[in-house]
Amino acid sequence: MFQIHRVSDSEIRLVGHFDASHQATAAEVFDSIKESCSVRFDELDYVSSAGLSVLLYTQQRLSKDGGALKLTGMNPHVRLVFEYAGFDQIFKIE
Amino acid sequence: MERTFSRSLDSLGDIVSFLKGAADTLSLDEKTRFAVNMAVEELFTNMIKYGKGGDDSIEVGLEKENSRLIIRLVDPNSEPFDLTDLQAVDTSAPLEERRPGGLGIHLVKCLMDEVRYEYKNRVTRIRLVKNI
């Protein structure tokens, strides 16, 4: 089960298990972001490399206009995946 | 424990259920469950994307040998794709130079203690070991 909620113009909430089968659904929401945005991970159990790629593309697009994603509330397993990928160096994680 | 899954991203939900059942049976801790789940999902997705196989299902198996967890994925009809021979991902590159390609396999290598690839007669066999 995976859900993505656009809480507001500046906040997205991820819920459940974010794998390759949900990449297109998530990309559609992230593609609609036009400026800096907070992404809540506190209800997300899992993210695969497909999920990471959606976040990477969004971060690269936003950075061209000085924007960025801020990622909050990751569980330790997800946080470790970000560290293995070196994504802790290119995202603000709180 | 083993099971076959049809060659589709729609199988990922069934794979998660299968791995949960296997992890319960083998009494795996949370950290190992997460690692196994990620490794199998990444490799299965890779087999669908790059294996260019036919309609044959992909087999996933798990077994415990003392303090080692052995994970196997078998694609019975595939093109060669040696994941152990891929260029390393640069995890320290600046944002604008990052590319998502190879990230899944990189994560598998980080999470597992051994990754072995074998290809013979169109059959791809991947064997992972996780020390537990």
Domains of chain A listed by start with CATH number: 2-93 (3.30.750.24)
CA quadruple B12, A32, A64, A36: dihedral sign: negative
Across the interface, of B37, B45, B91, the residue whose CB is closest to A20 is B45
Tokens of B7: 């060659």
Query: From chain B, which residues contact A within 8 Å (Cβ)?
Result: 9-10, 12-13, 16, 30-31, 34, 37-38, 41-42, 45, 89-96, 98, 100, 103-104, 106-107, 110-111
pLDDT at position B53 is 64
Length of chain A as a residue count: 94
Mutate which of B91, B106, B112 to disrupt the A interface (most A C-beta within 10 Å)? B91
* B74: β partners: B59, B125
Please list, in sequence order, all residues whose beta carbon lies within 8 angstroms of the beta carbon of residue A76, skipping any fewer than 6 positions away.
none
Beta pairing, strands A11-18 & A37-47: parallel
Could you give the percent of chain A with pLDDT greater than 70?
A: 100
Q: What is the ipTM of this complex?
A: 0.93
d(Cα A41, Cα A60) in Å, to the nearest integer?
Answer: 20
- Smallest CA-to-CA distance from A15 within A51, A44, A35 is with A44
Q: pTM of the full predicted structure?
A: 0.94
Domain count for chain B: 1
Show residues of chain A in contact with B30, CB under 8 Å. 77
User: Phi/psi at B91 (nearest 5 deg)?
Assistant: -85, 5
Task: State yes or no: pLDDT of B87 exceeds 90.
Answer: no
Domain of residue B78, CATH code:
3.30.565.10
